[in-house]
Structure 1
Amino acid sequence: MTNLNRVEFTLSDVLQAYRLRWQIELIFKEIKSYSGWHRFNTKSATLVFSLILMSFVVVTLKRYLAHAAQANLCESGSIEEISTHKVMKSGTHLFGNVISSLMNAGKSLVSCIKKLLDFWGNNAKREHPARDGCSGRTRLGFCAVGGA
């Protein structure tokens, strides 16, 4: 079931897009793999629940900032895309600075975010953009959107 226009999107297009649903599964994998869930050392169900919710907030914020890094690349004329997977794995020290800045009433927040976006713009680019054009999300013309 879809709300896509039947004239504009063929059944083949819809099925191909549906196959990309694994992106949602990747978000859950990123949360489990990079949020330290295996290191929770507490018996408090409330604390565990709070830490899990915070993991979702962090992954959402990192993805949002990854798209902002993508927007920065586009503004500079680059056609390369940012890998959200690489974003999850890298820049932890710089992301921590962003969070620390937020906890200090936003002091130096713009500078911290700029350093993080520049880092990801240089170090978190997708590995195989040509392959993505043949078999991945860009095959249907999907492209990175959003960001700050």
Structure 2
Amino acid sequence: MQHRGSVWNLKEIPDVNSDGNTDIAVYVGFTGNTFVLSGNDGALIWTLNQGQSIDGNIRLGQDISGDGNFDIISSGARVLNRIDSRSAAIFWTNGLDNNYIHGVDELSDVTGDGIKDIVAGTQNSNLYVVTGDSGRTVFSYNFGSATTNTVEQVARLKA
């Protein structure tokens, strides 16, 4: 099956189909689909539609369900999602400020609950820190007018 769209983001990920090889996660813009492909032969493992969007991110996240599989942190159609890497089940969704999300990363545990938290930046010039377990907004910071400033990239800082 052929899918139309532009590849916005991709990431090599640990083995999710138990064939012993790393796999590939791909976010396809305009369609809003996230695909996981076998790193061995390119076979489709799963796909998840997050809604049509012109932007999207894929990051690896801590396993919050305790099933031994990492999670995928992904932005889609103006939402931030935490996704199970094996089943494509969505653990939580946060609409932030209902605008395009240009940067996403996992932080250390800023809330002290033992789960790494998430940082995201939006086209509305906002930076958000959300909890890793539920996606609840911890705080946000605005950098000024969205016509002159957008948050394009966020990065994890190490102490």
TM (norm. structure 2) is: 0.27
**Greater helix proportion:** 1
Q: Which has the larger radius of gyration?
A: 1
Identify the structure with bigger relative contact order (alpha carbons < 8 Å, sequence gap 6+).
Answer: 1
TM (norm. structure 1) is: 0.29
